[in-house]
Structures are given as structure tokens and as C-alpha cells.
Chains A and B, each alone.
Chain A
Amino acid sequence: MIEFRGVNKWFGALHVLKDITLSVEPREVVVVCGPSGSGKSTLIRCINGLETIKDGDLVVDGQRLGDRATNMTELRTEIGFVFQAFNLYPHKTALENVTLAPIHVRKIARGEAEASGREMLAKVGLGDKFNAYPSELSGGQQQRVAIARCLCMRPKIMLFDEPTSALDPEMISEVLDVMVGVAEEGMTMMVVTHEMGFARKVAQRVVFMDAGAVVETGTPEEFFSDPKTDRSRAFLSKILRH
């Protein structure tokens, strides 16, 4: 579903992705972790073209990014992206946030889009917040609206960039629960997170990145109980300490 082959990327002189080779199968859930600045965000932002790659191949849903035949705007409609900072549209209500793209991109009739938007919001536990503006919602609620906004497009892939890092601790689990639900329905997911409980529960694989390179890959069991490299051990001891 997602395949990196020898992908490299630079930000000016900074070699931010180093020869990444990695693939995600349909219905697979892959968790990406690693220290801050290791290139995790850049990695998943490449998948929907928020960043462009310098060399190597990146094939998403059968289409090679950067090919002339690949319509990036169209491909993006198949990929949901959940941001660390939610990025809800502040001037639109929760329902308007989740129906905007279905109406304007998918060309679904407003009534129909609103019906499925309500359904989706109810599903993420916000059945009473259809008409609330983002500023009237807590962080956890906003992030759930953001997830619903992606799901309303019926995407084939969902990408999450540290979806719970901006949340107060007591709101983390409500968002993780929604994500677990999405995973259990068979979504192909790539999730940048340090939430090890989530990884153990639904991930088939954990990818550990450091300094722009994939340093280690393994099942959550292997990775957490028996990390293979010094760098992953150092990283795990840091995040498990608190």
C-alpha cells in the first residue's frame, strides 16, 4: 500500500531522510517512533505529498509519487492525515469541518454528506457537538473531530503525526480509543507516536527512526522487550521512565 525504496530527502544541507526502505501492507498498522528531530514527521508527510522527496521511489496505492501520471490531489483524497495540532478549520462547526471535503471534493450531496458526517461524529463520541466550533471543544474532542474529518472521506490509508502529543494526559485515551477502533476496522495506518500501549495493542510493526534513518523494525513484542540497538535501548529507557 505504501512503499519507500531508497528514499532520500534534504532540507538544504540537512540530510533528513537517509535511504529509507520500508513498506506497509494493506490493513497493516505501523507505528513509527524515535527521538525528536529524527525525521518521523517528514517521513509520513512525504506519503501525501506535503513534502517532496529528492531521490528514490515512493509508491502509494499503486501510484509512484512525482510521476506525471500521478494526480496528487486525487491521491490525497484516499489518504487521511491527522496532525499533532489538529488543524481544524476554526471558522467552521464540527459538522462543517467533516463535511467540507466530502461536499467539495467527493461531490456528495450536502444532505447525504451531513447525514454521514453526523454518523461519523457520533461514532467518535461527539454526537452532541455537531454545531460546536473548534474553539468550544477540548483538545481531545478537537482531535476526534479531526479523525472523523478524515474518515468521512472514506480513505484507504490513515496517517497520524503524533496525534496525542499536544493533549493533556487525561484526554489521550479518548483519542487512542478512537484510533484503536479505526485500526480494528482494518484501516491501513501509519502512526507516529510514543504511546507504547497503542503500539502493543494494534500495531503489527514498530519502526524506530534516528537521525533520518530507519534503525530498527520489529513487532511490538520484539521491539519493546528486546530492542536490538543501543540507540533504541536508550530511546526506550527515556520514554518508559515517565
Chain B
Amino acid sequence: MIWFQLQSLMGSYPLALRGLGMTIALSGISLVLGTILGFALGVLRTSGSRLLDSIIGLWVDLIRGTPFLVQIFLIFFILPELGVELDAFTAGIIALTNLAACFICEIVAAGIRSVPTGQVEAALASGLSQWQRMRQVVLPQAMRVSLPPLVGQYVLLIKDSSVVSAIGLTDLTRVGWLVVQRVPNGLLVFAIVGIGYFVVCYPLILLARRLERRMSAAHGEVQL
């Protein structure tokens, strides 16, 4: 029986690869975009403008305080009603990028706030511009604090990407649903789906741990 199911599963491997590819593409693109956006938001949040800080803070709280599934539905089903047509892939990318940016914004802002004010004052006193102070003095030190949680967050986001199967994207999770209709062994199928995610996430988990260990040895800046 199991043997037969396994054989049947083998037949589904092109579909599984497609699902894995979709999961990797979705997470990869959103994480890159989300990281860029998240850094920008984190820097803006700590730039000293009370107004910007509270606007970004409100948005971040809103996103963190609502289920990701609801956010995806809003983007995929509600935006078209307002005249913005989106395919499922774009909607997924937007939702995941936004989610990633919000979490990364908080991690980056916390890192920036952890840099002693004396560092900024020294940079200020030597005539560095705001951007140079950020780039040369603050961010390298902030990364020391931010990098391990940042990589940890990537792992969470890759797993969160499974929610996009709800709007019909054939990612790893949806492939599981499709296959389980043909091979009625949910335990086996979803165990394999789980392994798929783990294979993507595990290197990141290892990287996060490695970074954390390196922190103590570094002189305030982290090189990968």
C-alpha cells in the first residue's frame, strides 16, 4: 500500500519541483524587495522626524496585528474591485514584500537605536553628512545587532509564504493539496512538503546561528 503510494508520489515530482520553485521564487523576490524597503523604512523611522516615525509605526503595527491571510485576500480580491488588476503572483509578491518590509523595518530600527549616541556625535562633529553617518558609522554597527534576527526573520517569512496557496498560486503547500487528492496519505504527502520547506530554511537557520556566534568575535562590524 505504502509502496504503491510512494510510486504514485514519484510520478508527482515535476509538480513538486514546480511548487518548490514557486516557493523559492516568491520568497526570494519578496525577501530581496522587502529587505530593501525594510531598510529604507527602518532608516526613515529613526531619522528624527516624529511624523514619519508614527506613520511608519502605525503601518507596521497594522500589518503585524492582522493575519497574513487577510492581507493577501485584501490585496488579491479587494484591489481589483478598486480597479487595480493583479495576477496571483504579483499579489503574492506585494503581500509578502510588505510583510517582510514591516518586520525588517523593526529589526533595522532596533539595531540603529542600539548604536550609542556618542557614535553619531563623533561622526557629526567630524562633518560627515547624514547619509555618510548612516553608511559609515551607524549601519555597520547596527548590523551587529540586526543580522541574526534578520536571518531568523527570513526563515519565518519563507514559511509564511505558504499562505499564498490560498489565492491559487501553485507553491509547495498547494502542490501538497493537489497531490493528496490523488494519493490519499496526508501524513506522507505533507511530511514531504515539510521537508521541502526545511531544505530551504535549514541553511538559513545555520547561517543565523553562525552569525550569532561571530558577533562576539567581531569588532562591531560583521562580515559575512
Contacts and interface: CB of A to CB of B under 8 A. Distances in A.
Q: A and B: partners?
A: yes
B104 to A, nearest CB: 21
Given A77-B127, A90-B141, A150-B126, A104 B121 contact: no
A130 interface: no
B136 interface: yes
Interface stretch (A19-27, A79-87, A172-180, A182-190): A79-87
B46 to A, nearest CB: 18
Contact of A91 (B122, B126, B221): B221
B82 interface: no
B125 interface: yes
B124 A50 contact: yes
A29 interface: no
Interface string B128-148: 110010001100110010000
Given A91-B140, A105-B132, A153 B127 contact: yes
Contact of A83 (B121, B128, B220, B221): B121
Interface string A7-40: 0000000000000000000000000000000000
> Secondary structure of the B side of the interface?
helix
| Most chain A C-beta atoms within 10 Å of own C-beta, residue among B116, B118, B126, B127 | B126
A141 to B, nearest CB: 15
B110 to A, nearest CB: 18
A101 B122 CA distance: 10
Given A104-B132, A133-B219, A87 B119 contact: yes
Contact of B141 (A83, A91, A100, A101): A91
Nearest to A93: B219
Nearest to A105: B127
Contacts of B122: 81, 83, 87-89
Contact of B136 (A88, A100, A150): A100
B220 A90 contact: yes
Given A87-B119, A91-B219, A79 B125 contact: yes
A48 B219 contact: no
Contacts of B121: 50, 81, 83, 87
B94 to A, nearest CB: 36
Nearest to A153: B126
Contact of B118 (A83, A91, A135): A83
A105 B130 CA distance: 12
A91 B220 contact: yes
A231 interface: no
A149 interface: yes
Contacts of B124: 50, 76
Nearest to A74: B127
Contacts of B129: 73, 105
Given A50-B121, A89-B119, A101 B137 contact: no
A242 to B, nearest CB: 28
A90 B219 contact: yes
Contacts of A48: 125
Contacts of A90: 141, 219-220
Interface string B210-223: 00000000111100
A104 B118 contact: no
A180 to B, nearest CB: 22
Interface in B53-102: none
B126 A149 contact: yes
Interface of A: 48, 50, 73-74, 76-77, 79-81, 83, 85, 87-92, 100-101, 104-105, 133-135, 149-150, 153
9 nearest CB pairs, A to B: A91-B221, A77-B127, A91-B220, A90-B220, A87-B122, A101-B126, A81-B125, A87-B118, A133-B219
7 contacts: A80-B125, A85-B118, A87-B121, A89-B137, A91-B140, A91-B221, A101-B128
